[in-house]
Amino acid sequence: MLLREGNRLTLLETGAAYFPALEAAIAGARHEVYLETYIFADDAAGRRIARALAEAAAQGVRAHVLVDGMTVKRYSGALLERLLAAGVSLGIYRPDISPFDLRRVRLRRLHRKLAVVDGRVAFVGGINVIDDLHTPGHRPPRYDFAVRVEGPLVADIRAEADRLWRLVALSNFRQWRAAPPPPVAPQPAGFQRAGFLVRDNFRHRSDIEDAYLDAIANANEEIVIASAYFFPGVAFRRALTAAARRGVRVVILLQKRVEYALLHYASRALYGQLLDGGVQLHEYETSFLHAKVAVVDGSWATVGSSNIDPLSLFLSREANVVIEDRRFAQTLRERLVERIAAGAVPVSRPRWRRKPLRMRVRIWIAYGVVRLLVGWFGYASRQFGDV
């Protein structure tokens, strides 16, 4: 992983901080905008960002929007057509096909959420272009993070966004031309050291997982992870329990509310092993947890789109920023600790061992189905092992 010096990174918590920052950056665009998102919803947040993109395009800005094909019909409505009419270039990553198609390629989704404006400012995180309160009865807002990036790292993010845009254009037999480079290369904007990681199915199949495993292996004091969907392979679980055995405080914040039942219950099959290994588990119950972040020893942090589950680690396109800066890491840690204290419940070993039989049945059925699906889609059993 290549770490760049001289960056300024700003942590953005939930859409309340992210959308105004993204909107302002697009409003200030003079040359180009790249926006990638899994969901671009036709709701208040989506229309707000769409309006900014349309206004930028009207001023001659080359605006590129890339959306995952599996979510378009469900969330986007006529919003994307309005973007096209306004002069925004639109790409659909792997348009969804029949729900009965069980080929592995169908699950290779564009899950990353990033934006780059004029090659001078970028955003990377887990926040889709959808209102935090989109889900009916969803109070308070969905809990998630993004990071605003200025400095030399922006060039790496812009290069990846442009590369994928051209790849999607070619795969859909559309004409493309290489976008000219930004007029000014990003200059140092601060004093933070950071790197940009992607997960794809070519050269970067395990970069994000490897960064996690390296940080966990080198931890001396504390590991704090928040992951909306958590179903790690055996290597990841062993790394966490090995860290706990050598005296590292390992804290994982997971989602208590049921959003996707199969993965929700399957992930609980791993609780016993983690708790027996000394890992502290907390379930966030205040709202839906959508964060994918971590802090190690108060000096290493990552913010991005990658969950710790098979879809993120072995199938989807993901993007994370890794930051080696104590001030940033401490800020993220403080936010997580506050949320754990105010909105989460600890999972104790005795109570977990006494869970009702009906819960045990749900867990083991879900776990068996997920293991079967993992095998069906062609992933080695060594990645997941036995509980």
User: Which helix (H) or strand (E) segment is 222 a member of?
Assistant: strand 222-227
Q: Is 111 a catalytic residue?
A: yes
- CB contact at 8 A, 177 and 62: no
Which among 31, 64, 111, 264 is annotated as catalytic?
A: 111
Which among 162, 207, 297, 309 is annotated as catalytic?
A: 297
Q: Is 297 a catalytic residue?
A: yes
State phi, psi for 385 to the nearest 5 degrees.
60, -165
User: Is the peptide bond preceding residue 140 cis, with omega within 30 degrees of 0?
Assistant: yes
User: Which helix (H) or strand (E) segment is 33 a member of?
Assistant: strand 32-37
Task: Give dist(CA 113, CA 40) in Å, integer.
Answer: 10
Query: Quick one: DSSP state of residue 258?
Result: -
Q: How far is CA 11 from the centre of its chain?
A: 14
- Residues shown for the chain: 387
Which among 31, 64, 113, 134 is annotated as catalytic?
A: 113
Task: Give dist(CA 114, CA 265) in Å, integer.
Answer: 30
Interstrand relation of 249-255 and 280-284 (parallel, antiparallel or unpaired): parallel
Task: Give dist(CA 252, CA 294) in Å, integer.
Answer: 9
Which among 118, 200, 309, 325 is annotated as catalytic?
A: 118
Which among 68, 290, 309, 325 is annotated as catalytic?
A: 290
Which among 31, 134, 264, 292 is annotated as catalytic?
A: 292
Cα three-residue angle 231-299-142, rounded to 5 degrees? 45
Q: Is 64 a catalytic residue?
A: no
Q: How far is CA 52 from the centre of its chain?
A: 23
Name the residues annotated as catalytic. 111, 113, 118, 290, 292, 297
